Copies of this chain bind each other. A is one copy, B any other.
Amino acid sequence: MSTQYSISDLAKEFDVTPRTLRFYEEKGLISPSRDGQTRSYSSADRTRLRLILRGKRLGLTLEESAEIINMYDAGAGSKKQIQTLIEKIREKQQQLLEQQKELKLMLTDLRNAEKRCLEALD
């Protein structure tokens, strides 16, 4: 059998609580299989979790992350579906590029603030 993870395995690895993982499942973000009653996470589930958390660190909502993740998984689908996906992907890329600009602005400002503070230390 391929590697499977328990709920607390993943919780510890990614520093979240089991509650969080159950919540993500409730929201349809991850769908681990069951070993009897208990959840069993595949490495694909683990990857999904990593992507969700990456999205969170960028300030995305869970829904937005779900949208992006479903883009990765979209190999199948009709031509029309795929084209819609491509549009959404490009939209999201645009958003991230904007965010990158804001981030640079803020970093510049912070460096200036630091400089002023250092100068104030004379």
Write the residues of chain A forming the contact surface with B, with a CB cutoff of 8 angstroms: 51, 54-55, 57-60, 68, 71-72, 74-77, 79, 82-83, 85-86, 89-90, 92-93, 96-100, 102-103, 105-107, 109-111, 113-114, 116-118, 120-121
Q: How many Å from the CB of A109 to the closest CB on chain B?
A: 7
A82 to B122, CA, bound (A): 11
**Copy count, this protein chain:** 2
Q: 8 other contacts beyond A72-B113, A89-B117, with CB at 8 A cut-off?
A: A55-B106, A57-B102, A58-B99, A74-B113, A82-B117, A89-B110, A93-B110, A97-B107
Q: How many Å from the CB of A49 to the closest CB on chain B?
A: 15
Q: How many Å from the CB of A67 to the closest CB on chain B?
A: 11
Q: Which residues of B contact A55 (CB under 8 A)?
A: 106
Q: Could you tell me if A110 and B54 are in contact, using CB atoms closer than 8 angstroms?
A: no
A92 to B106, CA, bound (A): 10
A98 to B112, CA, bound (A): 19
Q: Which residues of B contact A58 (CB under 8 A)?
A: 59, 99, 102-103, 106
A-B contact pairs, 22 of them (CB 8 A): A51-B109, A54-B102, A54-B106, A57-B98, A58-B99, A59-B59, A74-B113, A76-B120, A77-B120, A82-B117, A82-B121, A83-B121, A85-B117, A86-B117, A89-B113, A89-B114, A93-B110, A93-B111, A96-B103, A96-B106, A100-B100, A103-B103
